[in-house]
Chains A and B, each alone.
Chain A
Amino acid sequence: MIGALAAIGELPIGRDAFREVVARTLPPEKLDVNLQAYDEGGRILRRRG
């Protein structure tokens, strides 16, 4: 969801900031799956135009 929100380009947020916050707030084993979800959200939004 946050990946899709970042992909609309209206907010000054990016993948690095997301990684940093997730690494700080969630257990380490959940980082990868969250980054994949972030990327997928952006991909879905771009695909739909």
Chain B
Amino acid sequence: MARERLAKDPFNIVITGVGGQGNVMASRVLANMLAAAGYRITIGETFGASQRGGSVMSHIRVSRSSVWSPQIPCGGADVVVSLEPIEALRVLPAYGNPQVRVRPTPARSIPSASLPANRSIRGRKRSKRRLRACARGCGWWTRRNGRWPWGTQFSPISS
């Protein structure tokens, strides 16, 4: 159920992904929705290589009373939405904080560049090790079930 008021003011949202996933579009739709509800919205976008597969990040700051600077301070994100799991790993160390909860979705969107279908078994194992090390470095790799936090199975992407 939607809240009547913001949990915090300003409420900071980071939407991240790679080019072509609709990151900027999503941030504008969300900002329009909140602006229509009477909130003051500031969006800051970084999309240098957008639509060419590069990282894209939008900072959305929502306030009832005032306009805030477009840059969310380090560790200041209240919600991080990642359209691409690996981009969450990039964003969380900078903007996450102990209160940010990771809620994985069952999307199987491991980067195809890392695990192409025709790569050798040995190469795939090496990629898995590197990605796990990255996740451990961010402090949210879980060993409990031996899977990635977002439930990705390490099968090659064939289609």
A48→B149 CA distance, assembly (Å): 12
Q: Is the interface of A mostly helix, strand, loop or mixed?
A: helix
Interface assignment of B37: CB less than 8 Å from any CB of chain A? yes
> Looking across the interface, which residue of chain A has its beta carbon closest to that of B22?
A1
- Give the number of A-B contacts (CB < 8 Å): 72
Give the number of chain B interface residues (Cβ < 8 Å).
Answer: 30
Contact code string A1-37 (vs B, CB < 8 Å = 1, else 0): 1101110111111100110111011000000000000
Residue numbers of B with Cβ under 8 A of A are: 1-7, 11, 13, 15, 22, 26, 28-30, 32-34, 36-37, 39, 62, 78-79, 81, 83, 103-106
Residue numbers of A with Cβ under 8 A of B are: 1-2, 4-6, 8-14, 17-18, 20-22, 24-25, 44-45, 48
